[in-house]
Structure 1
Amino acid sequence: MSKVNFLGEDNFIRTMKTENSEFRKAHVKQGKFKSFDGTTLNYYFAIPDNATKVVVFAHGFCEFFGKYHEYVWYLYQAGLGFYFLEQRGHGYSEGKMKEPDVVYIDDYNTYVEDFHVFMDKVVMPATSEMKRILIAHSMGGAVGTLFLESYQGYFDRTILSSPMLKMKSVPSKLVIILIRFYAFLFGKRKSMAPRQKHFDAKPVFETSSAQSRARYDYMFEMRLKDEHYQTYGAAIGWGLASYKVHDRIFKNISRLTLPITVFTAGQDHLIDPDGYREFAAKVPHAKIIAFENSRHEIFNATEETRNEYFRQVLEIVESV
């Protein structure tokens, strides 16, 4: 495996603002493209000289490229290229609501088709001779899995990191029907869902998905400085679309044939572990690796867990 020096806690923010910033200025490029319905989506990429493999990211709910600055740096140091699409309604991609901190989607097929257009228009023409690896986190894990079930031949391997195969606290089918009826009747699909909240510029590290304070602070500082990064709460429509994801994924689960590794977090307050158990039973060739002491964001966990996660990711990608 390539030698990559993983950052600790004390030197993280200083290094991100110096060496990592210099790396991004020198090597990372930004691009935009029109999706299937004319929505303009934003992406970032960097390809080292002589790279033979490229990682394509599908990020999670309310995330943006800045949260992955450390991640893509490690890949680049290992000689790996990357493409990072900011999904519809996130970061500098279009699709935001009038309240820009609220995330809405009509259906997950929209995310999947955005990703399909991204692959066809941007990634495939530039990487036709390269191995391609999908790394998908949380909501992106749901999007990525649905994409793989619909479209074959785009990737050689997949890593799902805390994928949203099954959400926690999903209402009963009757309640979902009532919510859908209410949202339709009163035009509330794009309104913020109950128990969600707007971005209030107050850090909540203790109840966040991260265990590294430095990494949380780095990300939160970007949120404070840029409205594009202040996505924070789900619209009712996003919730309704997300409730359907589990059944959709497992309806076509037999279509998953490529090598898959699933990293799971034992202290995850967002994902129902029953989804992982069901996935393991129905996709027997998938390798499930549990980080029992991690919260949802394993790449932002404690140092020992985080370093082992990155070590395994690099080992998997380099083995393709």
Structure 2
Amino acid sequence: MQDAPLYDEADGPEGGRAYWLTCADGVQVRMGWWPAEAAKGTILFFPGRTEYIEKYGRAAREYVAAGWNMAAMDWRGQGLADRALKDPATGHVDEFADYQLDVDTMVEAVTELEGGPLPRVLIGHSMGGCIGLRAAQRLDLKAAAFSAPMWGIRFHPAVRPAAWVLSALSRPLGMGGRYAPGTQPETYALAAEFAGNMLTRDEEMWLYMRAQLTAHPELALGGPSLHWLNRALVEMRALLRAPAPDLPCLTYLGGNERIVDPAAVRTRMATWPGAELVEPEGAEHEILMETPDVRDAFFARTIAFFNTHAEVPASVNPEPLP
């Protein structure tokens, strides 16, 4: 591992570091690491599409204060990780299975940093929920929590067949690197206004995200490529057809979710024995960036959930950090 930048705009806990990691296929990714004193275990945090490790610095403060290490990734094609296309604003990956190479590299690095065996749990947000569901089928985990997991993408019913056909034909027609219809090079958090946005109802967290991207525009990512869209559709269909992992699961889905497909999330959760689905009324896509009542409830609930299933001693959780 080599040291990588970790920008101050993360507003994470003290002791945070970032590292460059090289995957089995030679792609360079970046991992953030926030260690806890006398850690109970380690949270593998899987961010969503367009995201980067600084975005979850404040989340790391909550989990580290509760005694959990937290590791987070810049997946290939986003953040400061290697990007595949000449246009770096395009979100692109050759195959969704390639993200599992990033996961394996992350797990190797975490094993080295932990310095000894610790219970591990997973949090996957949005696209990270898709990557995480696949990873949960094979990693040694105690539990998994998801925030608005991308187990389906929300389309108008009339558009869905066209999305399948157009994305499937894109690579044979030499258009696989083009932006998916309705998307653009500018990242959503900078292109949109707070009023009416689909991410959060909390203006402070909206400004937190925008400040990071304004200070470090190299972190930004625009719309996905047509080929990414096709590979995502294929992977999500496969995951919904597969049995649920034999793993305790807690999932949050905003009551006003407009990015991932709520029906797909509810279908998966209905077929996951013992899993629990929480749908905060009115919440948007970014549960960890939502209003204080929603995000604080998510932190408290996931901490208690992980403590229980990792069999760590019960303790009074600290008050949420400002």
- Bigger mean CA deviation after superposition, 126-135 or 86-95: 126-135
Amino acid at match of 1:286: A
Question: What are the residue-to-residue correspondences of 1:60-79 with 2, within 5 Å?
Answer: 60-79=48-67
Q: CA deviation at 1:190?
A: 1.3
- Is 1:250 matched with 2:240? yes
Q: Which residue of 2 aligns with 1:313?
A: 302
Given that 2:77 and 2:84 are in contact with CA atoms closer than 8 Å, whether structure 1 keeps it comes out as yes
Q: CA deviation at 1:208?
A: 3.2
- Is 1:221 matched with 2:241? no
- Is 1:231 matched with 2:217? no
What does the per-residue CA deviation read over 1:68-112, in whole Å, with 9 as the maximum and x for residues that have no partner?
A: 111001111112111111111111111243222211012211112
- Is 1:103 matched with 2:114? no
Distance 1:17 1:41, change over 3 A: closer
CA RMSD of aligned residues (A): 2.2
Q: Which residue of 2 aligns with 1:32?
A: 20
Q: 1:57 aligns with which of 38, 45, 51?
A: 45
Given that 2:19 and 2:31 are in contact with CA atoms closer than 8 Å, whether structure 1 keeps it comes out as yes
Count of aligned residue pairs for this structure pair: 297
Q: CA deviation at 1:259?
A: 0.9
Runs of 4+ displaced beyond 6 Å: none
Distance 1:195 1:307, change over 3 A: same
Amino acid at match of 2:150: M
Q: Which residue of 2 aligns with 1:10?
A: none
Tell me, in whole angstroms, the C-alpha distance in 2 between the residues paired with 1:31 and 1:98: 24
Query: Secondary structure of the residue that 1:313 maps to in structure 2?
Result: helix
- Unmatched segments (≥5 aa) in structure 2: 1-6, 311-322
Given that 2:170 and 2:227 are in contact with CA atoms closer than 8 Å, whether structure 1 keeps it comes out as no
What does the per-residue CA deviation read over 1:126-166, in whole Å, with 9 as the maximum and x for residues that have no partner?
A: 444211110100000000001122x142x111001111111
Q: Percent identity?
A: 19
Q: 1:278 aligns with which of 259, 267, 276?
A: 267
Tell me, in whole angstroms, the C-alpha distance in 2 between the residues paired with 1:146 and 1:114: 13
Distance 1:175 1:232, change over 3 A: closer
Query: Secondary structure of the residue that 1:72 maps to in structure 2?
Result: helix
- Unmatched segments (≥5 aa) in structure 1: 1-15
Q: Which residue of 2 aligns with 1:146?
A: 134
Q: CA deviation at 1:17?
A: 7.4
Q: Which residue of 1 aligns with 2:145?
A: 159
Given that 1:135 and 1:161 are in contact with CA atoms closer than 8 Å, whether structure 2 keeps it comes out as yes
Query: Secondary structure of the residue that 2:171 maps to in structure 1?
Result: helix
Distance 1:280 1:94, change over 3 A: same
Given that 1:191 and 1:235 are in contact with CA atoms closer than 8 Å, whether structure 2 keeps it comes out as yes
* TM-score normalised by L of structure 2: 0.85
Q: CA deviation at 1:182?
A: 3.9
Given that 1:102 and 1:234 are in contact with CA atoms closer than 8 Å, whether structure 2 keeps it comes out as yes
Distance 1:303 1:38, change over 3 A: same
Query: Secondary structure of the residue that 1:268 maps to in structure 2?
Result: coil
- Is 1:193 matched with 2:180? yes
Question: What are the residue-to-residue correspondences of 1:292-303 with 2, within 5 Å?
Answer: 292-303=281-292
What does the per-residue CA deviation read over 1:208-243, in whole Å, with 9 as the maximum and x for residues that have no partner?
A: 311111111111121122232111211111111111
Given that 2:167 and 2:227 are in contact with CA atoms closer than 8 Å, whether structure 1 keeps it comes out as no
Distance 1:104 1:183, change over 3 A: same
Question: What are the residue-to-residue correspondences of 1:123-138 with 2, within 5 Å?
Answer: 123-127=110-114, 128-138=116-126
Q: CA deviation at 1:305?
A: 1.9
Given that 2:199 and 2:284 are in contact with CA atoms closer than 8 Å, whether structure 1 keeps it comes out as yes
Q: CA deviation at 1:67?
A: 1.3
What does the per-residue CA deviation read over 1:159-211, in whole Å, with 9 as the maximum and x for residues that have no partner?
A: 011111111117445652344224322x2111212110121754422223111
Given that 1:162 and 1:271 are in contact with CA atoms closer than 8 Å, whether structure 2 keeps it comes out as yes
Q: Which residue of 2 aligns with 1:114?
A: 102
Q: Which residue of 1 aligns with 2:318?
A: none
